[in-house]
Amino acid sequence: MNPSYGGDIGAIIYFKKNFITVGPGGGIRTSPDGTFWRTIPSLGKGVLNAITASDNLVLALGPSEAWRSEDGFNWKMAASPAITGHSACAYGFGTFVGVGQNGAVTISHDGIQWESATAPGGPHFRGIAFGAGKFVAVGPDAVETSLDGKAWKPIMLSFKMQMNAVAYGTAGFVAVGELGIAAHSLDGESWQTNSFPGSNYQWMNAITFDGKYIAVGIPERSYSQTGGLVFSSTNAIDWQAETSHAAFDLFGVASGGNRAVAVGFGCEIITSTGNGWAEQIHRIFPLIPLSCSVSKGLVVVPMNDMVLVSSNANSFRFVRPEAALGSTNDVWSSMAFGNGQFVMISNYGRVSSSTNGYDWKEETPVPGSGNRSFGLPNVRTIFVNGQFFARTDDRLYSSADTKTWQDSPVFRKFHGDNSTVAYGNGRLLAPPFVSTDGLNWSVFYGPQFSFFSSVAFGNGRFIILGDQGQLSSSSDASSWTNLPSFGSQWADLQFVNDQFRAISQNGKIFSSVDGQTWSETTSFDMGGISNLATDGAIWAASGYSGGLIISWPNFAPRASLTRDDHGGILTSSTQSGSSYRLFGADDLSGTWNPVGEEQLGFGDPIYWPLSPDAENRFFKVLQR
């Protein structure tokens, strides 16, 4: 019921003995206890802002779309509501009600068909709850009530307050928001305020009720790494501060199954069973393939503490490198191929290498490259001109053999870019720096982009790609020419088979010979993409939403594979009415045995749960 504020998890609900979260990239995760999580394939192309449920149906709403599920695991898209930006939703009296900007309201009885309404005064609603036979929606200095979600009544308030969320419990409605204030009302019409303990700069983002009210937020309205706040109350008047142990800001909270779970920025997750809160941030990482590499006919993808290796269109294997990670929050996050080996670097600077993708050995760590600032890895690994480069926001390290790493201190003067590195015409380019030897770097003055997403060299010229699709070209990294932009959010740029290839965050691939004229060649239809890998024949795309798509020559549909924290396998591109079965083998030349029951495809992903001993086995999916 609570809104997303751009963090990695923005809203959460308890439904049929599972917690369900939604957030950017259409990402959905489920957990029975808030500790072990399963990632559902991304839904839609954008952020899912809000989630609510009846007894038998859970509904997730995005900027202009709705998704429904009867179990929280299998989702189907409903007709798009006539609203451009849901911020919250609630269920009551057999009706789902979504609210958003300018007083926009959508109503549905089944989560499929929608009708629209408008609240008087056009308030920017940020939260909604149902109780005492009515819906109550809140926003900046605004409260409105409705019996059916269609006709709304503005409530006159004696105070000013930006209200971000509202919940209903035994003490009535409670709204939370800015300046450390909580407002409460028995009937949703007569309101009083009181304060949370501590600073009056507190910014509360969400509230729930399950025997007591639990409100979560941040110390100040900074939306950054200032830590999360938790307050609780049984009467909506007297509030107690609870030690959250959250390193990041909290944006959503839900209760159920004798526990509470709060979520927020950087995939922050904390849980409580009534005896204090415990941080579970490291539990959310297993399904996030932030990098991938294609070489030697293999697709190699780091996934948390494991590596997925695929050698053909239907089989894949998970292996666990022997190299130790830096901490429980560390993950294998970036990879490149060069000098006959795959080299993988973790978020905390651990390095591992393999000549075949299956057998890995530990190498010399990259000093000081770890950065937990967003709860996700932000190191990039590149191989160009005979060297491996490890680049973070403000560091660049280079190594020819992964044994000795050279630091380039000049990069510490520029924080905020971690684009790739390219080589051509005797120059190394790592925007906004240029070098002739990889050790001594100087700033080049070229395209005025806010952020550099990627750089590539081909056909005698460098092409730089900005995060908003801006393009600029140069043959010497000195004189730059801006090229026509093709817009959208762009993630990666490469030069392969005499052509530049650019991929957007929503999975569209464009190609160009000269960087000026671009044509769309492929679409992966997946949101949250951050990396593209290809050898010109095999294509792989991965990203922060947890998705991985591999496209093999002459194979349709494309194989989409994801592994969850319990060892389960997700495959997509199923055909309605066709039966599918998962098979496993100890080696590719061995006997393939069925794994799990045969399942019917409906055009949606299929999930096969696997036991923990599935590690180091091969799997393939066959259509029956």
The residue-averaged pLDDT of 351-356 equals: 92
Please provide the average confidence, as pLDDT, over all residues in the chain.
79
In angstroms, rounded to a whole number, what is the distance separating the alpha carbons of residues 436 and 438? 6
**Residues 110-121: pLDDT tens digits?**
888 889 999 999
Binned at pLDDT 50, 70 and 90, residue 143 comes out as: very high
Binned at pLDDT 50, 70 and 90, residue 129 comes out as: very high
Q: What does the pLDDT read at residue 166?
A: 98
Q: What does the pLDDT read at residue 287?
A: 46
pLDDT of residue 615 exceeding 60 = no
pLDDT of residue 74 exceeding 90 = no
The residue-averaged pLDDT of 508-518 equals: 85
The residue-averaged pLDDT of 372-379 equals: 44
Q: What does the pLDDT read at residue 230?
A: 95
Q: What's the angle, vertex CA 197, arms to CA 194 and CA 198, rounded to 5?
A: 125
pLDDT of residue 272 exceeding 70 = yes
The residue-averaged pLDDT of 591-610 equals: 63
The residue-averaged pLDDT of 286-300 equals: 75
Residue 518 phi/psi, 5-degree rounding, is -120, 145
| Of 282 and 381, more confident | 381
Phi-psi region of 72 (alpha: psi -120 to 50; beta: other; left: phi over 0): left
The residue-averaged pLDDT of 416-432 equals: 80
As given in the structure block, the two tokens for residue 580 are 């599918």
pLDDT of residue 415 exceeding 50 = no
pLDDT of residue 313 exceeding 80 = no
Closest CA to 69 of 43, 93, 33: 43
Q: How many CB atoms are closer than 10 A to CB 388?
A: 27
The residue-averaged pLDDT of 478-507 equals: 81
| Of 363 and 376, more confident | 363
Contact 407, 417 (CB under 8 A): no
The residue-averaged pLDDT of 117-143 equals: 95
Q: What does the pLDDT read at residue 52?
A: 96
The residue-averaged pLDDT of 431-437 equals: 86
pLDDT of residue 374 exceeding 60 = no
The residue-averaged pLDDT of 171-200 equals: 92
Q: What does the pLDDT read at residue 530?
A: 76
Give the architecture (CATH level 2) of 11-284.
Answer: 7 Propeller (2.130)
Amino acid at 345: I
- Among 209-218, 319-328, 336-345, 452-461, whose mean pLDDT is lowest? 319-328
Q: What does the pLDDT read at residue 256?
A: 93
**Residues 461-485: pLDDT tens digits?**
999 888 777 888 999 888 888 888 7
| Of 8 and 260, more confident | 260
As given in the structure block, the two tokens for residue 464 are 């730089």
| Of 232 and 392, more confident | 232
| Of 583 and 45, more confident | 583
Separation of CA 23 from chain center: 7
Sign of the torsion angle spanned by Cα atoms 239, 245, 249, 250:
negative
Residue-wise DSSP of 38-98: EEEPP-SSS---EEEE-SS-EEEE-SS-EEEESSSSS-EEEPPPS-S-EEEEEEETTEEEE
In angstroms, rounded to a whole number, what is the distance separating the alpha carbons of residues 527 and 549? 11
Binned at pLDDT 50, 70 and 90, residue 529 comes out as: confident
As given in the structure block, the two tokens for residue 179 are 């300046």
pLDDT of residue 200 exceeding 90 = no
Q: What does the pLDDT read at residue 556?
A: 37
The residue-averaged pLDDT of 306-330 equals: 70
pLDDT cut 90: percent of the chain above it: 29
pLDDT of residue 432 exceeding 90 = no
pLDDT cut 70: percent of the chain above it: 73
Top-ranked range on mean pLDDT: pick from 175-189, 486-500, 533-547:
175-189
In angstroms, rounded to a whole number, what is the distance separating the alpha carbons of residues 589 and 584? 12
- Three-state SS at 147: coil
pLDDT of residue 286 exceeding 60 = no
Q: What does the pLDDT read at residue 175?
A: 97
pLDDT of residue 619 exceeding 80 = no
In angstroms, rounded to a whole number, what is the distance separating the alpha carbons of residues 471 and 429? 15
| Of 20 and 558, more confident | 20
| Of 43 and 613, more confident | 43
The residue-averaged pLDDT of 244-265 equals: 88
Q: How many CB atoms are closer than 10 A to CB 82?
A: 13
pLDDT of residue 105 exceeding 50 = yes
As given in the structure block, the two tokens for residue 465 are 């790609």
In the numeric block, the tokens 């304060």 are attached to 195
Sign of the torsion angle spanned by Cα atoms 438, 439, 440, 444:
positive
In the numeric block, the tokens 């609900």 are attached to 13
Binned at pLDDT 50, 70 and 90, residue 191 comes out as: very high
